[in-house]
Amino acid sequence: MGQLLDKLPASSRVAVIRLRSLGDCVLTTPAIALLKAHRPDLEIAVVVEGRFKGVFEGNPDISALLPPEPFSNWKPRLTLNFHGGTRSMWLTAASRAKYRAGFAHHAYSFLYNQRIPRAQQTLGEERPVHTAEHLASAMFWLGVPRTEIPRAKLFAPPHDPVAPYTVIHPFASAPEKAWAPDRFLAVARQLRQSGLDPVFLSGPADDPSPFHEFRIHRNAPLSEVKSVLSGAQLFIGNDSGPAHIAAAFGIPVVVLFGPSNPVTWAPWRTEAQVLTSPEGMSGISIAQVNTAAETLRVNA
């Protein structure tokens, strides 16, 4: 196992490349928290696209947010590539960092002088691992002592609701990952009858018109999305980024999975009901979702 962190002088700069994807960005924060807890002297920057930098804003573990452009003038001692795509590999090489690290399975990993092995090898357990475990294993290999991997770490302005509410996110990045809108509508009406006001989230490419009878936050900035989710009593939605944001705030979540692997992408460190079906999303019933939501409310 590497002990690279012992070689970094005090107050060294570390650049973590995590360009995009909401869930991936959220699940990068436990690894950063582990690094900062072990070496609080380090200055940590995250290299991230502008539309996702809100995930990291307000996080005291992070000293800077850098755009996905050459950042050698920031003078990192260590560049850690968590993204693995072509552009991130180019940025890693262009960083001029003394140490360039990333997972050995990345394409073009010959650009690294520190190749991080599979999480299973580092953790000593041959099993499927969660994304948070996968990223944290890199920190353990670099020299952070093995410890419990924390919950994702997000910060948001306080939200002051007028009544208890549930956040529903009925959209997804692909049709096979999305439950039918009429089923979400039925669940929302049941929640309203039970005393929880449904609040919907939608992005710029989503059609929220089926849910017009409820409050909708459409194409809201990430700061607002985080704030709304942080104040919810419950989250219900497809496997997507907002589910991971809710989990980061410890909100109980009901998540519906289609083709994605729940072992890898389930909500991390929160009370959760994960629903799947051999038939895909269409095999998950309204009754199952209502029962899952009620179970979480009873256990809260």
- Whose CA is closest to 238, among 264, 270, 207, 274? 274
pTM score, two decimals? 0.97
**Predicted confidence band at 2 (pLDDT cuts at 50, 70, 90)?**
low
Q: Which residues of 55-77 are buried (b: 16+ CB within 10 A; e: fewer)?
A: bbeebebbeebbebeebeebebb
- Write down the pLDDT at residue 137: 98
CA atoms within 13 A on the CB side of 274: 19
- Write down the pLDDT at residue 179: 98
Residues 130-165 have pLDDT tens digits of 999 999 999 999 999 999 999 999 999 888 777 899
How far is 162 from 119, CA to CA, in rounded Å?
A: 45
Judged against a pLDDT cut of 90, whether residue 251 lies above it is answered with: yes
223 CB-near residues (< 8 Å, 6+ apart): 54, 57, 156, 157
- Write down the pLDDT at residue 1: 45
- Write down the pLDDT at residue 28: 98
Q: Which of 110-124, 152-166, 178-192 has the lowest mean pLDDT?
A: 152-166
- Mean pLDDT, range 266-271, rounded to an integer: 98
Question: Quick count: other Cβ atoms within 10 Å of Cβ 288?
Answer: 15
27 CB-near residues (< 8 Å, 6+ apart): 131, 132, 135, 152, 244, 268
Tokens of 229: 């989710």
CB distance 158 to 188 below 8 Å: no
Residues 17-71 have pLDDT tens digits of 999 999 999 999 999 999 999 999 999 999 999 999 999 999 999 999 999 999 9
- Write down the pLDDT at residue 244: 98
3-class secondary structure, 155: coil
Judged against a pLDDT cut of 60, whether residue 210 lies above it is answered with: yes
DSSP state of 163: S
